[in-house]
Structure 1
Amino acid sequence: MERSRLFGVAARALQAPRTCRSRLGQTKRWQSNTTGNIRPQAPQPFWTTGRVLLFSAFTGSLTYLYGISDTSSFLSQNPVAARKPYVPVYAKKAELETAVTELRGMLGESAVSTDDEDLHRHGYSEWSSINIDVLPVAVAYPTSTEEVSQIAKVCHKHKIPMIPYSGGSSLEANFSAPFGGVSVDFCFMDKVLALRPDDMDLTCQPAVGWMSLNEKIAHTGLFFPVDPGPSAMIGGMVGTSCSGTNAVRYGTMKDWVVNLTVVLADGTVIKTKRRPRKSAAGYNLTALFVGSEGTLGLVTEITLKLAVIPQETSVAVVNFPSLRSAAATAMSVVRTGIPIAAMEIMDEVQMSVVNKAGATKKKWKETPTLFFKFSGTPGAVKEHIQQVRELSRKQGGGDFDFTRDAEEQKALWSARKEALWSMMALRREGDDVWSTDVAVPLSRLADIIEISKKEMDDLGLFASALGHIGDGNFHESIMFNGNDPAERQKVQDCVYRMVDRALEMEGTCTGEHGIGLGKKASLVKELGLDTIGVMKKIKAAIDPLGIMNPGKVFDLQ
């Protein structure tokens, strides 16, 4: 398989990930089952001509293992790592048919879809920089932990891969299906199961969106502070240990998960710990599953810590003459110890993107820009604003553009939150957008931004730089012709030079997007074969058949 095909097909018109109800409702009728849940009606017979072709892809299109990202250059220098990856033995055609029949018998005819459009939506992503030609062979729609356990037992018995799916907005092919298998879509598991304001925590299911969650609990005076892309759901946020704009103040996903209910590969259901905010009881299994990208188990319930909504919040935007001066200001803010709520950077290209896309009502200056969020008591907010203003002026920063009310505040901050969506909205037919991230020690952030920005500009393509500058997390987004292999290769080389540069600076190949398929070789560079070997031993102990989201994070050997 050619590398250009491994990295995706041409992107179609922008369409944000949607819930299963709207996705499936366009292509099939609906019915109610005995539990009252709405599910799609039973699809056509399983083995259509398209399904046979899909099965052929499932069994024969595994060469992606040998060419993703910059693996070849790395392996040429590391012969030990160049051993042929182990390909687990998965179910044959007859076993797949049997498994689908069993699942429909347990969950209901409409709970397992083999519709071609459903399969495509669960194996291909317009958001991802990498796509492969293999799709899942079925999509299961559980409504409870018990049903997820039933799915796992059937798949374990027949050795069928399972791939968790929630928001569908991941960027590194985290929910792709390189070995086929069953995509487990949690869209019917979208409830807040318990809200405990006095304990400042709640328990929810994986398909709860973080934005809708905060709307539901606003009356308590509490909120959940982790804020990645607007369409992200709690299950996927756990899987990639994501963060967002609030990370500089509140930390990342791993800091806010109290415990998890997890269905293991054989259907066993475990709870990783109890509900106290601190515990020294045994291994920290909660932390083990957060960030594991579904390779160790299927998360079905999540208990999250909550924070108090600040008394006052203010958002300010300030322009700078260069990215380095903006980055220097950010570093001085951090070093001074000012408790900033959030601090984001966007280059002049990204500011132009926001203006062209019309994502906000305001017209922005198209120069390197810092976005600040201040929160706390009224007196503290006023003091912190003055301190940051003085530090900005020392680096040539312009006047602060402040919010006056909540609506204006939302509009100002939306310029940063809508960055990727704004860029994707500008795509022409055939365009792809490669969006990726790295993180480096704070002292090296200005260096990597400056060098990487120059390399992106030298491509002669539409490319922008942005990031969570308060914690060293830097993003690149590059638009290119997805049908031009030479142009794709040029972009790929630029991206992986940035990744290698971050590793040379003692950074990481991903700050919040995860490894997925796209950064497996970079993870080996970052941690080394011995460390990856420990991860593989953990994987083998928990999932000896290798059926939990196989092909992600690392290859089995």
Structure 2
Amino acid sequence: MRPHETLLSVPPCSPSTLPETWPEGAAQELARRLGERCVWSQAVREQHGRDESPFVDVPPPDAVVMAQSVEDVSAVLAWAQEFGVPVIPFAAGSSLEGHVLAVQGGVSLDVNALNAVHAIHTEDMTATVGPGLTRKQLNAALGGTGLFFPIDPGADASIGGMAATRASGTNAVRYGTLRENVLALQVVLPGGEVIRTGTRARKSSAGYDLTRLMVGSEGTLGVITEVTVRLHPLPEAVSAAVCAFPSVLQAVQCTTAIIQAGIPIARVELLDAATVGRVNRHAGLTLPQKDLLLMEFHGSPASVAEQAQAVQGIAEDLGGLGFDWATRPEERSRLWAARHNAYFAGVQSRPGCRVITTDVCVPISRLAEAVQAAVDEADAAGQPYFLVGHVGDGNFHMGYLVDPHDADEIARAEALNRGVVERAIAASGTCTGEHGIGLHKRDFLRQEAGEAGVALMRAIKAAIDPKNIMNPGKVV
């Protein structure tokens, strides 16, 4: 499916026609139950009908509910079950795969106001928060505790959205993904029933793992209204470095060697030379415009020095052109902010473009060949792109910069994307290491999991959400 194609069953509509798109009396009943928290204005609906995906022609949701409490969420889902109207959870709106788009109309359920820090248990190293709280807000609340929340996908995403998409990011090579860092959830099921999954205990063998079922469900099984996450001690010492390489292949080979040597590096990120140039212009930096690895080391002063020395030796053996150290906190922050802004630097380099982005993840032994093949194909096709990667765990992104109204260019970028994904799956990898399936990767999920696997997922979906009101059209 091309990015400008959608699965629409509800046409664009004005507030005056909204009641006619739903069963008789549905709009009036929603307004009665939710009052002023139910918003019909075109501007608010359009705000909730966009994300960072390449899908640009999807009409906005029919209405937006600004939930103020778990009771509001429960009321919306009970109403939706009664009238058969779709509900799409919405928080930061930073999705890259169309997760929050109302492709079958319905209600966008905004949970941003559910952003409280309910509890911080420093001795247990856990925090319980609302789904609308962002990762930066959580880390600000942890100031003075000696703890931090390490999952860093780049965007200041909401914790609930990160859990729903099983998010990852730059720190995953050392601290894991959301899957490893969520202990418990509160979830509102279709129909309005509120359940709790998991506990604050570090492990459990009690029944089916409902927490893991909901983490990564992308809003298709319920609405996450509370998340209990693991916290980690702030490292005693932190050191960051930039190392240039003559080629992308050598940079990736260095990463593979670092991981295979068992060095507990905290971050290792790849940027190709063209992306470095865009980042320099966007962020006012002077990074060497070569294929780069950005690295960070955590631990005691002695262990950080030992890690850095070992990595320097590996880099030199593989053609590394020297380390440029960022030792002060403000230097490190600027460096990682620049890495996180690589996406926006790419977009800025081609005004009006949208990004079709890959996020495949492959076994570390197959990473170099996967990255090299993706670069070679894009260069041969003449398709503008940027390349970044959380290469420490085998995850990389090709961001194809496309004119969203040029069907031929979109088709070319989608063909390149398909090639990247199919090679990853053939290498025993995955079509998505962190962004999720959403709208864009449903065909790839079928290739990866097989028809029987997808059928089982559909059976789970049907058992929990028999009326298909939860974010329909996504995942399965």
TM-score by length of 2: 0.96
Alignment match, 1:409? 332
Offset at residue 101 of structure 1 (A): 2.4
Give the residue type in structure 2 aligned to 1:504: A
Offset at residue 52 of structure 1 (A): 6.8
CA distance in 2, matches of 1:335, 1:251: 17
Alignment match, 1:118? 44
Alignment match, 1:85? none
Which one is further off, 271-280 or 390-399?
271-280
Please state whether the residue corresponding to 2:139 is helix, strand or coil. Answer: helix
Alignment match, 1:100? 27
**Matching of residue 437 in structure 1 with residue 436 in structure 2:** no
Give the residue type in structure 2 aligned to 1:6: E
User: What does 1:125-274 correspond to in 2, within 5 Å?
Assistant: 125=51, 127-274=52-199
**Matching of residue 395 in structure 1 with residue 318 in structure 2:** yes
Cα contact 2:13–2:62 (8 A) shared by 1: no
Alignment match, 2:201? 276
Offset at residue 151 of structure 1 (A): 0.8
Please state whether the residue corresponding to 1:513 is helix, strand or coil. Answer: coil
Distance 1:166 1:198, change over 3 A: same
Alignment match, 1:5? 4
| Residue-by-residue CA offset, 1:130-152 (whole Å, 9 max, x unaligned) | 34533311110111111110111
Match of 1:382 among 305, 327, 334: 305
Offset at residue 51 of structure 1 (A): 4.4
CA distance in 2, matches of 1:172, 1:496: 15
Match of 1:325 among 250, 268, 290: 250
CA distance in 2, matches of 1:220, 1:100: 47
Cα contact 2:50–2:93 (8 A) shared by 1: no
Cα contact 2:346–2:386 (8 A) shared by 1: no
Distance 1:147 1:365, change over 3 A: same
Please state whether the residue corresponding to 2:123 is helix, strand or coil. Answer: helix
**Matching of residue 292 in structure 1 with residue 217 in structure 2:** yes
CA distance in 2, matches of 1:238, 1:52: 36
Offset at residue 510 of structure 1 (A): 0.5
| Residue-by-residue CA offset, 1:131-184 (whole Å, 9 max, x unaligned) | 453331111011111111011111110011110001100001011111101110
Cα contact 1:100–1:112 (8 A) shared by 2: no
Cα contact 2:89–2:223 (8 A) shared by 1: yes
Give the residue type in structure 2 aligned to 1:226: I
**Matching of residue 514 in structure 1 with residue 436 in structure 2:** yes
Alignment match, 1:21? none
Identity fraction in percent: 40
| Residue-by-residue CA offset, 1:262-307 (whole Å, 9 max, x unaligned) | 0000100000122211111111100000000010000000111100
Offset at residue 94 of structure 1 (A): 5.4
Cα contact 2:198–2:210 (8 A) shared by 1: yes
Give the residue type in structure 2 aligned to 1:123: G
Cα contact 1:315–1:413 (8 A) shared by 2: no
CA distance in 2, matches of 1:464, 1:500: 20
| Residue-by-residue CA offset, 1:317-370 (whole Å, 9 max, x unaligned) | 00000111111110110011111011111111110110121x2x4311111100
Distance 1:279 1:226, change over 3 A: same
Give the residue type in structure 2 aligned to 1:531: G
Cα contact 2:243–2:294 (8 A) shared by 1: yes
Alignment match, 1:50? 14
**Matching of residue 362 in structure 1 with residue 285 in structure 2:** yes
| Residue-by-residue CA offset, 1:34-66 (whole Å, 9 max, x unaligned) | xxxxxxxxxxxxx9963478x6xxxxxxxxxxx
Distance 1:405 1:141, change over 3 A: same
Give the residue type in structure 2 aligned to 1:416: R
Cα contact 2:12–2:59 (8 A) shared by 1: no
**Matching of residue 470 in structure 1 with residue 398 in structure 2:** no
CA distance in 2, matches of 1:352, 1:553: 36
Which one is further off, 181-190 or 98-107?
98-107
CA distance in 1, matches of 2:105, 2:399: 29
CA distance in 2, matches of 1:414, 1:464: 17
Offset at residue 436 of structure 1 (A): 2.2
**Matching of residue 536 in structure 1 with residue 462 in structure 2:** no
Cα contact 2:160–2:224 (8 A) shared by 1: yes
| Residue-by-residue CA offset, 1:93-135 (whole Å, 9 max, x unaligned) | 3526x333223323322x011111222221222x102345333
Give the residue type in structure 2 aligned to 1:106: R
Match of 1:457 among 351, 370, 379: 379
RMSD of Structure 2 on Structure 1 (CA): 1.9
Distance 1:394 1:48, change over 3 A: closer
Please state whether the residue corresponding to 2:239 is helix, strand or coil. Answer: strand
Give the residue type in structure 1 aligned to 2:397: H
Please state whether the residue corresponding to 1:548 is helix, strand or coil. Answer: coil
**Matching of residue 421 in structure 1 with residue 344 in structure 2:** yes
Count of aligned positions: 473
CA distance in 1, matches of 2:256, 2:58: 43
Give the residue type in structure 1 aligned to 2:174: R
TM-score by length of 1: 0.82
Cα contact 2:358–2:420 (8 A) shared by 1: no
CA distance in 2, matches of 1:160, 1:94: 7
Tell me, which stretches of 5 or more residues in structure 1 are unaligned? 9-46, 56-90
